[in-house]
Amino acid sequence: MATAVITGSARGIGAAIAERLAKDGYNIALNDISQSCFDNNDISDRIKALGVECEIFAADVSKHDQCEDMVKKIKARFGTIDVLVNNAGITRDGLLARMSEENYDLVISVNQKSVFNMTKFTGSVMMKQRSGRIINLSSVAGVYGNAGQMNYSASKAAIIGMTKTTAKELGSRGITCNAVAPGFIDTPMTAQLSDEMKAAILGQIALKRYGQVEEIAGVVSFLASPDASYVTGQVIEISGGLSM
Ligand code: NAD
C-alpha cells in the first residue's frame, strides 16, 4: 500500500489532509513538532478507523538532522514514501519596523527550510522509486504579499520557487511537485487574527465566506491522484476568489 507523509499534521489543514489521504487509501505518517501535539487528539485513531496504517513521527522539520532521521524511520516502517505534503508552518506577524530578527529567522526556518529538508531526504527515496508526489503549502501572501507578514510572505514566496525547482530537478524521475496557495482558512492559525482583520478579509473574498480545511485537502488529494499525473510545477490558489 502507498504511503503519505504530512508534516504539521496534528491539527488544522495538515490533519484534514492526512484524513483525506487515508480515505484515498494511503498509509499515513503523521508528523508534528512533538508527541504532545497529539495528546487529547484523536487524529491517529480516526485514520486507523479508515482501515489504513498510521504512525506518529515527532520531529522539528526546521532541523535538517531530525528530518533525515524521520525520513529513514518512515521508510523503514512503511517501505515506500509515495506522497510528501510539506504543510508545517507558523506565523509571527508584525509590521516591518517592529519585526524582530528572531521572528524573521524563525518563520523562514520553520516554513521554508523545512521544505528543503523534507524534499531533500524524501526526494532521494522517491528518486530511487522513480515515482512520487510532493505538494507544498504556500499562501496567497506568498503570491501577492501581505502587510504585517514580511517573514511569512517571504517564506511562502520562496516555496513557489522551490516547488518549480523541485519539479524541474526531479521530473525526469517521475516525480511531480506542485503547491497550493490557500487564502483564509478556518484553523487555529487564523483564529489568532483580530475580529477587525477577519471582517476586512471577508469583505474581499468573492465567495463571502472563509475556506474550510477539507477544501484544501480535496485539492491536495487531486494533486496526489492519477488524474494529476501531468500536472507539475504549478501553484493552485484556493482562496474563494480572495485574490484575482
Ligand atoms: P496550524 O497552526 O493550525 O497547524 C500547523 C501545524 O504545524 C501545527 O500542528 C504545528 O504544531 C505544526 N508545526 C509548527 N512548527 C512545526 C515544526 N517546526 N515541525 C513540525 N511541525 C510544526 O496551521 P494551519 O492553518 O493548519 O496551516 C497549515 C499550513 O497551511 C501552513 O503552512 C500555513 O502557512 C498554510 N496556510 C494556512 C492558511 C490559513 O488560512 N489557515 C492560509 C494559507 C496558508
Taking the centre of ligand 1 as the mean of its atom positions, its distance from the CA of residue 74, in whole angstroms, is 21
Residue 63 pLDDT grade (very low, low, confident, very high; cuts 50, 70, 90): very high
Q: What is the pLDDT of residues 6-40, one digit of tens each?
A: 999 999 999 999 999 999 999 999 999 999 999 99
The answer to whether 199 and 185 have CB atoms below 8 angstroms apart is: no
Mean of pLDDT values over 220-234? 98
For residue 73, what are the CA distances in angstroms to 19, 66, 162? Answer: 21, 11, 25
Range of weakest confidence among 55-64, 152-161, 186-195: 186-195
Question: Counting atoms of ligand 1 from 1, which one is nearest the CA of 213?
Answer: 26
Residue 244 pLDDT grade (very low, low, confident, very high; cuts 50, 70, 90): confident
Specify whether 152 is catalytic: yes
CA angle 11, 16, 19 (to 5 degrees): 115
Question: Counting atoms of ligand 1 from 1, which one is nearest the CA of 16?
Answer: 26
Taking the centre of ligand 1 as the mean of its atom positions, its distance from the CA of residue 15, in whole angstroms, is 10
Catalytic residue among 26, 104, 144, 152: 152
Taking the centre of ligand 1 as the mean of its atom positions, its distance from the CA of residue 88, in whole angstroms, is 5
Give the closest residue (by CA) to ligand 1 atom 10. Answer: 8
Q: What is the pLDDT of residues 106-154, one digit of tens each?
A: 999 999 999 999 999 999 999 999 999 999 999 999 999 999 999 999 9
Give the closest residue (by CA) to ligand 1 atom 3. Answer: 12
Which residues approach ligand 1 with their CB closer than 6 A? Answer: 7-8, 10-14, 31-33, 37, 60-62, 87-90, 110, 137, 139, 182, 184-185, 187-190
Does the pTM of the predicted model rise above 0.85?
yes
Question: Counting atoms of ligand 1 from 1, which one is nearest the CA of 110?
Answer: 18
Question: Counting atoms of ligand 1 from 1, which one is nearest the CA of 61?
Answer: 19
Task: Identify the burial level of 14 via C-beta atoms within 10 angstroms of its C-beta, where 0-12 means exposed, 13-18 middle and 19 or more buried.
Answer: buried
Taking the centre of ligand 1 as the mean of its atom positions, its distance from the CA of residue 11, in whole angstroms, is 8
Amino acid, single-letter form, for residue 56: I
Q: What is the pLDDT of residues 168-208, one digit of tens each?
A: 999 999 999 999 999 999 999 999 888 998 999 999 999 99
Contacts 24+ apart (CB under 8 A), 167-172: 167/232, 167/233, 168/233, 170/123, 170/126, 170/127, 170/132, 170/134, 171/232, 171/233
Mean of pLDDT values over 57-64? 98
Q: What is the pLDDT of residue 243?
A: 80
Bridge partners (DSSP) of residue 238 are 182
